[in-house]
Amino acid sequence: MADRSPSAKNGRGGERPLNVQVAVRCRPPNAKERLEPHFNIVQCDENAGQVTTPGTCGVVRKAAAATGEKTYNFDYVFGPTSTQKQVYDTVCSRAVDEVLEGFNCTIFAYGPTGTGKTHTMEGGKDEKNSNHSDDRHAGLIPRSVKQIFTRLRRSNQENSVRVSHLELYNEHITDLLSVSDEAEKLRIYDDEKTGTFVLGLAETTVEDESQVFQILQRSAKKRITAETEMNKYSSRSHSIFTITVHSKSTSSDGDELLRVGKLNLVDLAGSENIGRSGAVSQRAREAGNINQSLLALGKVINALVEHQPYVPYRDSKLTRLLQESLGGKNKTCIVATIGPAFSSLEETISTLEYAFRAKSIKNRPTMNSMVTKKELLADYTRRMARLEKELLC
Ligand code: ADP
Ligand code: MG
């Protein structure tokens, strides 16, 4: 995350407040939209970091009150011709470096279904070898995996990298890296040291990028199975891919010190039922179409923006898992994705308003403290004991 804000320079371990960074990416019009008369009406000024939606004057707008032209300012704006590399270099490359320095960073993709969340996070699905980071279609996940291993190969420290990948559908967590086909009941626990974690979630140690790409192919297969079994699974599920890097050094008294950093890459469910203020729309409520986690995310953002004394993190699994990313110790960037056509203007405005509000959330990025090998072992022993107790219950 390249940071333009003045406070960013103080973020390194300083626990000074740092705003959540917000980027907007507008995808190019698709074949269906190109048949419409106003298929490219959202203007993106990448240099100024501005997105302008048109006034509805002269353009017939169904089921909505006429609105005037409106310009929104964001930290970064990517127009329809922006490349995957541009998005990566601007919002993710710095985050990878910060993870290696010992920070936890999170990047969310938020927006209506079909606007490019998965394209941004994972990359072009239709392309051969889409997971390969040399591919120009590769998204943030394969590019960050590649950068992490390139950096680690250059460092002379001993390192280890672990990945986990989960999906959340209807408040049920699926471990995409589990080899078992049986549905596990994964629960979230709080840990005073490391924050929330999912007990029993597979964390696979990986040696290089090609191993991660193989793992990602396996998890993609698991999602395809879920898609065929559950209605609209991909637009209603959230996925969280996490890369954890441990780097080892030796202290002056000979103890082994471990630095830990985490990168969370989050592809959220489609935001089409979420209104401008983050509340679920009346229409969606009537259809019983409520995504508990997205609703809770909107409430958490509102509570943080409005400085409410109570932030309802515990209302959903998503907000529990991402508590430190919103108003917490992580460095966070939201990439809001939108479409360019008049036919999706209502959704586009909702997304822009939502993303604009999120800009005022402040986090206090904190570098993870170094732990000795003994402390880390004690931590694992504690978790194992918990897992054993859980299995016996
Ligand atoms: P979402 O995950 O938000 O539902 P997708 O990422 O699946 O949306 O994108 C929908 C379609 O639009 C896909 O075919 C994708 O390849 C295409 N697309 C999305 N964003 C872009 C972009 N920036 N450039 C080119 N094609 C894109
Ligand atoms: Mg998607």
254-268 pLDDT per residue, tens: 777 888 999 999 999
Q: What is the ipTM of this complex?
A: 0.99
Residue 293 to residue 306: CA distance in whole angstroms: 20
> Which atom, in ligand 1's list, is nearest to the CA of 235?
4
| Cα 220 to middle of ligand 2, angstroms | 12
Which parts of 214-342 are beta strand (E)? 238-250, 256-267, 331-338
> Which atom, in ligand 1's list, is nearest to the CA of 111?
3
pLDDT of residue 93: 97
The residues lining ligand 1, judged by C-beta closer than 6 Å to any ligand atom, are 27-28, 111, 113-119, 124, 270, 337
- Which ligand places an atom closest to the C-alpha of 109? 1
| Cα angle, residue 119 at apex, residues 328 and 122 outer, rounded to 5° | 65
> Which atom, in ligand 1's list, is nearest to the CA of 120?
6
> Which atom, in ligand 1's list, is nearest to the CA of 109?
3
List of residues 6+ apart from 268 with CB closer than 8 A = 108, 109, 110, 117, 238, 294, 297, 318
User: What is the mean pLDDT of the segment spanning 4-14?
Assistant: 41
- Which ligand places an atom closest to the C-alpha of 110? 1
Residue 294 to residue 170: CA distance in whole angstroms: 10
pLDDT of residue 377: 81
Beta partners for residue 164, in sequence order: 242
Question: How many whole angstroms from its chain centre is CA 358?
Answer: 14
Residue 11: pLDDT band by 50, 70, 90 thresholds?
A: very low
User: Ligand 1: which of 26, 27, 224 to mutate, most ligand atoms within 8 Å of CB?
Assistant: 27
315-365 pLDDT per residue, tens: 999 999 999 999 999 999 999 999 999 999 999 999 999 999 999 999 999
Residue 13 marked ligand-binding: no
pLDDT of residue 288: 61
Beta partners for residue 165, in sequence order: 241
Q: Is the pLDDT of residue 175 over 70?
A: yes
Q: What is the dihedral of CA 176, 177, 180, 182, to 10 degrees?
A: -20
Q: How many CB atoms lie within 10 A of CB 379?
A: 14
* pTM, full prediction: 0.89
Residue 283 to residue 123: CA distance in whole angstroms: 32
Residue 116 marked ligand-binding: yes
Measuring CA to CA, which residue among 110, 153, 119 is closest to residue 30? 119
Q: What residue type is assigned to position 34 of the chain? A: R
Residue 319 marked ligand-binding: no
pLDDT of residue 3: 47
Rg (CA), the chain: 21
20-32 pLDDT per residue, tens: 999 999 999 999 9
Residue 85 marked ligand-binding: no
Which parts of 76-149 are beta strand (E)? 76-78, 104-110
Which helix (H) or strand (E) segment holds residue 242: the answer is: strand 238-250
Beta partners for residue 299, in sequence order: none
List of residues 6+ apart from 290 with CB closer than 8 A = 273, 280, 284
61-74 pLDDT per residue, tens: 444 455 688 999 99
User: Ligand 1: which of 119, 126, 272, 344 to mutate, most ligand atoms within 8 Å of CB?
Assistant: 119
Token pair of 374 as six digits: 């003994």
Asked if residues 74 and 61 have their Cβ atoms less than 8 Å apart, the reply is: no
